[in-house]
Amino acid sequence: MSQPFRKYQALQNDYLLFDALDAPVSFPPAQIVAMCHRRTGVGADGILIVGRAPGGADGGDVYTMDILNNDGSVAAMCGNGLRCVGKFLADAGHLAPGDRREVRTASGPRHVTVLGHAPDVSQVVAGLGRPRVLDDALTLNDLAFVRVDVGNPHIVHFLDPAAPRAYAPDWNRQLALSLGPELEHAFEGGVNVGFAVVTGPAELDLVVWERGAGFTQACGTGATAAVTAALHLGLVPRGPVRVRQTGGDVTVTLDADGAATLDGPAHFVFAGTLPD
């Protein structure tokens, strides 16, 4: 039977979202690749499948999010995808502005809150748990990286803002494109690779080569990993940090207990139906 979907994007991270609240939805890897292809399919960084879970401790509704990369592989966590799920729940009338809902993922429970809602765009805050720095002295390809767990694996390299090439147009993008495909496989199971430049007291520029998706316009867990690493190294203060990416800006906040939130816009793009 035909399968309806809704396309969402957050910082130009775009996803095909499938409603599995009342009936399960699944796709073989080859179909995922075909759907996500930007020339012969609908085009997307990945697939989101939203379902229901048993009620939470407060008696409120609990949801699930399954994430599939555009190469057909399974992803454990996705910050911008989670914010798109929040937008979808608000669009579908399941989440009122200001309310918080639990969303269960392969990385554990997370949460979403919609602060401002409109049909085309909503401001969505995603709670991403407590990121952990696993290694702050990692060297790969003669570059220093910080290894961070955000429910999925990341390594982050900080370019020296005093170096002339750090200010060259798209220098960190060039690094991501040239080194990302190799460094993605530096660890078993793959890793997301970020290149950041601290540009102010509480802001940084970032590009990310994502495992399973390649170079994307933005990465929510990548932004969280970069801020976690920068705070660990003393490069930014605790509190809200603006992260600028190709697809737009997002704010990452690590509270005193180390819990992270990701705050930014999420857009509804269009709805469609896959043919039989």
In the block, tokens 């906040």 appear at: 253
DSSP annotation of 96: -
pLDDT in tens, 2-41: 899 999 999 999 999 999 999 999 999 999 999 999 999 9
- Burial bucket for residue 120 (CB in 10 Å: 0-12, 13-18, 19+): exposed
Catalytic residues: 78, 219
The DSSP bridge partners found for residue 261 are: 127, 253
The pLDDT-based confidence of 170 (bands split at 50, 70, 90) is: confident
What pLDDT is attached to residue 180?
96
Residue 254 has pLDDT above 70, yes or no: yes
What pLDDT is attached to residue 275?
84
What pLDDT is attached to residue 162?
76
| Average pLDDT score over the chain | 94
Instruction: Report the percentage of the chain scoring pLDDT > 70.
Output: 96
pLDDT in tens, 84-104: 999 999 999 999 999 999 999
Residue 75 has pLDDT above 90, yes or no: yes
**Ordered domains of the chain (ranges, CATH):** 3-117 (3.10.310.10), 132-258 (3.10.310.10)
What pLDDT is attached to residue 56?
58
pLDDT in tens, 187-231: 999 999 999 999 999 999 999 999 999 999 999 999 999 999 999
Q: How far apart are CA 117 and CA 272, in angstroms?
A: 22
- Name the helix (H) or strand (E) containing 153: strand 153-158
User: Using an 8 Å Cβ cutoff, are 60 and 101 in contact?
Assistant: yes
What pLDDT is attached to residue 59?
57
Q: How many CA atoms lie within 13 Å of 188's alpha carbon, on the beta-carbon side?
A: 0
Instruction: Report the percentage of the chain scoring pLDDT > 90.
Output: 89
Residue 17 Cα to chain centre, angstroms? 14
pTM above 0.85, yes or no: yes
The pLDDT-based confidence of 163 (bands split at 50, 70, 90) is: confident
> Per-residue b/e over 200-220, b at no fewer than 16 CB within 10 Å?
eebbbbbbbbbbbbbbbbbbb
pLDDT in tens, 122-148: 999 999 999 999 999 999 999 999 999
